[in-house]
Amino acid sequence: MEQADQGTHRDGAAEIFSIVEALIGRRNYGWGVRELADHLGANRSTVNRLLSRLVEERLASRDVSGAYVIGPRLKVLATTIQENHPLFVAGGRILSHLSATTGATAVLAVESPKPEECFVLVSKEPTSPVRYTLPAGTTLPTHAGALGLAILSRRGTAGLSKHLKTFTADSRTDVNGIQEVLDRYADLNAVVSIGQHIPDAAGIAVPLTITKSVTGSISVSRPRNEFRESDIVSVARLLNRAAAELEANLDAQYPVADPSVQTPNPSTTLIQRISRLLTALCANPAEELNMQYLTTVMGTRSVATRRLIDAACEAGLMTSSQTSSFSAGPTLLRWAAALGCSTSLQNLIDEDLQALSADTGETVGLAIYDHETQNAHFASTYSAVRTIQYVLELDSQIPLHAGAAGKAILAHLPEQLRPGALKSFTERTITDPKILTRELGIIRTRGWAAGDGERIPEAYGVAAPFFINGLIGGSITITIARYRIDEVSADKLAEAIVSTARKVTELLSITDSSPKAIKSGRSCKVETRAAL
């Protein structure tokens, strides 16, 4: 009961955010329902129900043991942020240069909603055999270590706990002692930490303004025995230049999204609204989103939108500006940093393709289209358990005009990208451009393609295209031996494969990915590579 169980209330959203946080925190292995409920101090039946809803929205999934783990949709959202937010894009480039210039580990950190914590967003290490390592997503204290102290130098020490943890003999846990550390190099707009968090590490850091309400820092850190005080001034200058360059990249990224007004749909569930909110933030990671935009995206009335926004702001998933606009917050950035980039499309949709093969009892193949090379190839295959089965050759380039997999892709490419000379592979290959054009029109209309011995004489296939942000990403195909054509229903196979392709499109797309949206220019605001 999404509405009955406080679906529009902030505490209901907070419980969902806590579950997602727990899944990300244990991203290398899963949770059982009882274990997670005990961890959160929550009602077991409520946790079980919410996990089931998260699985429906692909924000959670279940591994082979039945444990709940990170869902593929969260991985897609994390990849989108990493590929589009200037903190990751420009920040990664700037930090790589810093690391190469100084021979030290360069790190970008962002403050957390808790005053005592910040976290690593990006880390670039040198090639030296002994080096300071801080993985992305790592939580750090603000009162000990250069990265956290630099954030305090900009934000101030207000809100810090009176009982701060002592990490080493050099840690300062009282406000006066912390302020002394902050003041020591204030004229350089930098802080220096030697062994305050990790005994054998030393670092120099400067503060960074990310948004009006979020502060970050950039540091270079190295083993303590390699630290030289004579380098402080020159390194501080390098860091301040790097911070200024990154701030300039951030300042250039803030138009205010303002979509056309649509009628909200209050029948959506809380988790669906949360999924839409996360998608909007990830699709526009460095933009300020106004209330009208968020109300439209979430399909809610303004009051329900405000309640969910308040809960998201409290959790640090989004931050607000003085203009009542909102952008991706530190918690969402930390989630993206911790999950990293999902570069394997096959892994993301493996569950869908395995299910299709199991449901149909046939061999399923994944063809991926590369927009740069304008070629397609089979990337993975899921074979049915049969005495005689058709096996797809992986990584082999496939012709776009011959066979179901290729034609399903070609039907959604511009006419100028169609092959000039239509090579014949079998006597059934279409080699007449006019006949091919009519065939492609039929494919676009009905949503799937068929191939009967056009590329391989003994093979029959049915394929449906999938899209990523409105661009053709490839096709999903079911291939059988031709002698079995009379045993199967092409229409039923097509229905199953079109349904799977639609699910894959929804999973991989952040913006409207329908062909209608492409023609109207409403899609493809964020370009995501076909192979993610």
Kindly state whether residue 532 falls inside one of the protein's structural domains: no
User: Burial level of 88, CB count in 10 A (0-12/13-18/19+)?
Assistant: buried
Between 22 and 386, whose confidence is greater?
22
Domain boundary among 224, 251, 278: 251
Question: Mean pLDDT lowest for which of 86-95, 262-271, 334-343, 408-417?
Answer: 262-271
Give the mean pLDDT of 23-44. Answer: 93
In terms of domains, do 216 and 172 share one?
yes
Q: Is 58 helix (H, G, I), strand (E, B) or coil?
A: coil
Kindly state whether residue 443 falls inside one of the protein's structural domains: yes
How far from 319 is each of 111, 316, 325, 329, 460, CA to CA, in Å? 12, 7, 8, 5, 53
Strands 318-320 and 60-62: unpaired
| AA identity, residue 517 | A
- pLDDT tens digits, residue range 274-315? 999 999 999 888 788 888 888 888 877 778 888 899 999 999
Kindly state whether residue 212 falls inside one of the protein's structural domains: yes
Q: Is 96 helix (H, G, I), strand (E, B) or coil?
A: helix
Separation between Cα atoms, residue 516 and residue 238, nearest integer Å: 49
Indicate the helix (H) or strand (E) that contains 375. strand 375-382
In terms of domains, do 124 and 30 share one?
no
Question: Mean pLDDT lowest for which of 358-372, 404-418, 513-527?
Answer: 513-527
Indicate the helix (H) or strand (E) that contains 363. strand 363-370
- pLDDT tens digits, residue range 175-204? 999 999 999 999 999 999 999 999 999 999
In terms of domains, do 357 and 505 share one?
yes
Mean pLDDT of the chain: 86
Domain boundary among 324, 339, 354: 339
DSSP state at residue 194: E
Residue with tokens 């100084």: 102
In terms of domains, do 147 and 247 share one?
yes
What is the sign of the dihedral through the CA atoms of 205, 210, 212 and 214?
A: negative
How does residue 385 score in pLDDT terms, banded at 50, 70 and 90? Answer: low
In terms of domains, do 425 and 320 share one?
no
Kindly state whether residue 133 falls inside one of the protein's structural domains: yes
In terms of domains, do 380 and 449 share one?
yes
In terms of domains, do 312 and 179 share one?
no
How far from 77 is each of 321, 339, 370, 506, CA to CA, in Å? 23, 10, 21, 12
CATH number at residue 103: 3.30.450.40
Q: What is the largest CA-CA distance in the chain?
A: 85
Q: Is the pLDDT of residue 59 over 80?
A: yes
| AA identity, residue 115 | P
Residue 40 structural domain: 10-70+256-339
In terms of domains, do 356 and 474 share one?
yes
In terms of domains, do 195 and 326 share one?
no
Is this structure's pTM higher than 0.75? yes
CB 273 within 8 A of CB 299: yes
Give the mean pLDDT of 246-250. Answer: 91
Residues 414, 417, 423, CA angle at the centre, nearest 5°?
130
In terms of domains, do 127 and 108 share one?
yes
For 139-165, give the DSSP string: EEESSSSHHHHHHHHHH-STT--SSPP
pLDDT for the residue numbered 530 = 36
Separation between Cα atoms, residue 350 and residue 52, nearest integer Å: 19
How does residue 392 score in pLDDT terms, banded at 50, 70 and 90? Answer: low
- pLDDT tens digits, residue range 423-466? 998 899 899 999 999 999 999 999 999 998 888 888 889 999 99
Kindly state whether residue 531 falls inside one of the protein's structural domains: no
Q: Is the pLDDT of residue 143 over 90?
A: yes
pLDDT for the residue numbered 4 = 40
Separation between Cα atoms, residue 238 and residue 461, nearest integer Å: 59
pLDDT for the residue numbered 10 = 53
Q: Is 347 helix (H, G, I), strand (E, B) or coil?
A: helix
pLDDT for the residue numbered 305 = 83
For 278-304, give the DSSP string: HHHHHHSTTSEE-HHHHHHHHT--HHH
Euclidean distance between the first and the last CA atom of the chain, given in angstroms as a whole number: 35
pLDDT for the residue numbered 52 = 95
Count structural domains, the chain.
3
Buried (b) or exposed (e) across 452-490, using 16+ Cβ within 10 A?
bbbbbeebbbbbbbbbbbbbbbbbbbbbbbbeeeeebeb
Kindly state whether residue 276 falls inside one of the protein's structural domains: yes
| AA identity, residue 494 | A
Q: Is the pLDDT of residue 6 over 50?
A: no
Kindly state whether residue 421 falls inside one of the protein's structural domains: yes
Give helix then strand counts, H and E, for the chain: 17, 18
CB 463 within 8 A of CB 475: yes
In terms of domains, do 301 and 187 share one?
no
CATH number at residue 55: 1.10.10.10
Q: Is the pLDDT of residue 254 over 70?
A: no
In terms of domains, do 18 and 149 share one?
no
Kindly state whether residue 4 falls inside one of the protein's structural domains: no
The answer for residues whose C-beta is within 8 angstroms of residue 186's C-beta and 6 or more apart is 153
Q: Is the pLDDT of residue 521 over 60?
A: no
How far from 62 is each of 33, 58, 70, 258, 394, CA to CA, in Å? 11, 10, 8, 37, 27
How does residue 264 score in pLDDT terms, banded at 50, 70 and 90? Answer: very low
How does residue 387 score in pLDDT terms, banded at 50, 70 and 90? Answer: very low
Domain boundary among 188, 220, 251: 251
Separation between Cα atoms, residue 310 and residue 319, nearest integer Å: 10
